[in-house]
Structures are given as C-alpha cells and as structure tokens.
Structure 1
Amino acid sequence: MLTARRSIVAAGVVLSLLVAASSAMADPGPGTECPPLVFDCDIHSGGNKPPTPGKPGGGGGGGGGGSAKCMARDGSGGQFEVPCFDEESGWFDASSSCYWRLMEPQPPAEDPVWAGHAPGDGAVYNGQCPGQPLAGGFRWFQAPPPGYGGGPNLEALAQEAVTKMRLLGADVGIAPKQGGTGTVGVPVWVWNGPSPQTTGPTSASATALGVTVTATATVADVVWNFGNGSSVSCAFPGTLYSPSFGLTPPSAASGQCGIAGYSRVGDYTVTATTTWAVHWVGGGQQGDLTTTRSSQVPVRIGELQVVGQ
C-alpha cells in the first residue's frame, strides 16, 4: 500500500512539473501561439501569417513522432539498447544500469537487507543488471529507484527543450525583393537568413525529478512552395542574390535555391516550410523527433515594360 501511494505521489509530481512548465511558457513572445498544456507550439518569423493548425504549408508548424531508447552499460564501458521495462525484471534505471522490481512480499523486519530501517520506511527492491552480472541483488531504497514506474516523461522533456529553443521558420530573403515587382520569365531567388533559430544548430535542456534531457536541433531541409504549383527542397540556406548573377537561374549544385521564373503575371505567396531534426539524450535514453515551422512572403510578378510601346 505504501509503495502504491508513493507511485501515485510520484506521478502527481511529474504532472505538476509538466503543468508548471507549460504555464511558465504560456506567453513565449510575439508571433507565438501555444495552446494550454502543449509544449511544442507554432513560432513564426516577422511578417508571417497566423498558423492554420493541421494544414501543411499554411504558415504553421507542428511536431513529429519520435522513439525513446534505454541504454545499458557493459563491463567495458560500452552501451547497448535494452527495453525500458521488462515484465520479469522491472523498470530500468540508467544511473545504475540495472532493472529494479519491488519485492512482493517485502522481507521480514529482521532481514539484514533493511540496513537498520524498519519495514514501511522505504522498501526493498531486487536488481538485475544486464551486462554486469555481479551487480544488482536485493537493496533498500528510501524512495523508488530512478526510472521506477516510468519516471519523468523523457519525450515530454525533449519537447519542452525544443520549445526553449524558439525555433523559427525561414528568415525569408527573396529576389525580387519584398514590396517590389518581378518580371515574367525572370529567375526568382530565395534564401534563409542564418541564425541559431532559423538555420541551426541549436540546443536546449529541460529537467524534471532530477533528470535532464538535452535536445539539439538541426535543419533537415526547407521546402519552398512558390504558389504557382512549383516547389523546391533545399537542405542548405541558399545564396543571397547578387546582381552579378544576372538572369542565370539558381543552381542547387552551387548551393543556390529558387526557380527559373513565373510564367504568368499575378500576386503569389511563397511559403517556406522548415523541417527541424531533433536528437535528444538524457536519463540514460536517447531519441529523435521532427518538428516543422513555416514562413510566408508575398511576391508580385508583372510583364516586362518596353519604353516607347
């Protein structure tokens, strides 16, 4: 009964910490929308339109799935993957590299394993350590071992770390410049202004119940949709346009990004959707997730005007 009560209290502490973290981030800054209890929210660079949740390319962002792994240590200092929970062995604790299962029933009061403590003051657990057969055994703990009962939600901590990074969509640069007018058939150049929040890499950490998760985000690619049915994917920031380029179309082989031009006059919206790849480590586990951010800019295309006609 005491052990069950401690598990309930531990679960309540985790929820309280995560709710507190969400409340602290309820107002992350201009251009950001965070629903209650949602850690990974949509963040937009200046001039972007408000997001439309769930619609790709609509100016918003979203999170992707990931997977967590528990890593055990062997006698030579190497690591290998193990299940985070085993029905026979119990819950895995990365700090000891052992599984721990509550002894049921608990040993009698005179058993030396209590180390001078009375039954009810903490509890005795049985440890099994993959890769370290001489470790483990029966041990008294004042509180459940780290990781017992699942511990803090490491993926939620990773998402919290991602929120702390304040990742943005592309800081869009474009030629023809914003507010100007391009010409039918003339190449359009785009690029992503470099910064930790737009091109990465960038890192942040989050902590709960003594466990810290550190996440590092890098840009996997940016998909540029030009509003005329054409799009390009650039895994690089692109190249700032220079007048010396003339009418030469952008070349991906040279790290340039854009299209050969529009075929019709009109007003278009260029949408840049950045996919961030995030790798996180902490609590003896590691995993990967993806998240997206979108930016939009308008572009106007007109016809070439010839003087005297």
Structure 2
Amino acid sequence: MPVFVSRRAALFATAGALSLPALRTAQAQQTFEWVAGSVGGGWYTMAAGLSALIAEENPAIRIRVVPGGGLANSTRVNNNQSPIGWGIDAFAAAAARGEDPYNRKHEDLRSLGTGYSPTEHNLLRTAEGPEDMRAILTQRGLKIAAPQRSSTDEMTLQRILRFLGTSPDQIRSNGGRYLNGSYADIGAAFADGQVDYMYAALAKPAALLTELGQGRRAARLVGFPDDIRKHLIDTYAYNEGVLPAGTYPTLQTGPLTVTTMDSVIMVHKDVPDDVAYGITRTLIRNRGQRLTSIHASMGAFDPAKAWRYQGVPLHPGAARAFREAGVMPPA
C-alpha cells in the first residue's frame, strides 16, 4: 500500500537527515581542560601549541588551556578539576606517594609519559655584588623575587634556603625583600630594580630571560654549587644538567651547571582510553621539528624514554600509543 507524505513533512525529514552527521560530530567532540603554568611561561605556551596540534589530528578532541602551577597541578588533575595538566616529574611522583609537600596519596593520577620539556632552574643576579649562590642567598638585605607560592620554582627555592639555614621570613627579618608574582611580575621587579635577584625554573630558551638579557640592567646567571645540587638530587629526586654556553649570550660567559627537572603530562584516570591514545600518538608522530617549533625545549622528547617514567602509572591509552610506535614492549 503506498504511503503519501506531504511536501512539508518530506522537507522536515530531509533536513533532519542532513543534520544527523553534524549532530553526531557535536556529540562525539569532547573538550578537556589542560592546566598549565603562568600565562607567559613555557608551560602555557607549550600547552597552547599542543592543543592546536592535537585538534588538527584529532577532530573530536578539543583542549582549553588554563593557568596553573607545578605544585598545585597534581592535586587539580587528581581531583578531576582539570583532567589534563603539566607536572614536574619529582613533584608528580611525590603527589602519587602522598609525600611532602602533599598530605595524601593522589591515587587517581596517570601519565602520558615524561621528557616533554627538560627545565633548568635559574638564579639571575645583578652584575654587581656576590657571585656565589650561597653568598647571595645568605647575605643581609637580600632582595629576591620568585614565582607564586603554588609553583615548583618557589618550592625549590625554599628548599635551597632551608638547606642554607635561612628562609623567606629570615630574609625579611634581616631587612631584605622576598617577592612572589607571575613571571611577568618578577621579571618587571628585577628590571625596575625592586629586587636584585630573581629565581625561576624555565625551559631554555626562556623568553623572560632573553628579554632581561636585552634590557638596560646588566645581569648574570649563577651556577648551582655541587653541595646544593647533590642535596636536591638525594633528598627530592631532582636532576642536574648544563646550560650550554651561548644559551643566553649576555647572561653567561660559559656553560653553567644547574639543577634541572622534567615535565610530565598528567591525566585523570577517567580520561577515556581513546583520548589518551590520540593525544600520545600525536605527540609521538610529531616529535622533532614540529614539537620544537612549539617550544625549543620539546626537541628533547624521546618516546623510547618517555614511557619509562615510574613516578605515576602510565595511562592505558598512552601505553597503547607507545607500543604501536614500537618503543615499548608488548603487554
């Protein structure tokens, strides 16, 4: 028996059919928040660049980047406030174990590997005055700036000060100044003469240090003494490395041995396997020139080493991507 359909009904049916693919795409597309670092810092720049790259190769994945800090990011990701975030290898491991500075185990953390951006710790000084880190940080009247209290930079500086028998409160009581702020804030404080020293952990080449090196105030970077590097390595699982000569031509006269740490991409355990897989696969496929174009420090990313990080369990989706790339043994 024939079925007669009105022209209007037919038009609605056609419009509905045409809208289904778009509807399915909208439903499939997912947006995830990535907590990075301070606006203007390397982490924020890298997360923004990676979000565009990931969307380019994974149309169903959208990432919104928000500012954060290395110390607080682990808790934020563990609580699923931001399901993706940058972390520091040693601090992410401490969070997973519930060790200082964290007061509970972060059991919902997973990782997409590490080695994405080796980061150097930098102490910048004026051209005049003490040149040795110990003499600088223990002098009376010290005026120093560091990032916010929620950052791994500032936590590291406090650990160094404690090792040297001093503290922010001691600095202030001795007539000095201990300022905290964004990278832009502390850079401006140094450039304007509000402080004579600045501490920041930034992957080379850091725009902030490059700009200060081109400024009107003569400045120099300070190497890390053997005992301070050893203390940070033995007690807190930091690393050490060399800032090559010429990295910041006006701020150094040769190579400098410094404390280093590395970046890990943390995700909440409930991030879908296909999303973790898609993100990790994109990073692996674009290692080298493409990642370096986002930030020079990302040129160090080596998938064969990235999956070996033991501080936080590897997300199953990331493990699949590393195995497909042939750098991780079969399960």
Give the alignment's TM-score, normalised by structure 1: 0.25
Bigger share in strand: 1
Q: Which has the higher contact order (CA 8 A, sep 6+)?
A: 2
Bigger share in helix: 2
Answer with 1 or 2: which has the greater Rg: 1
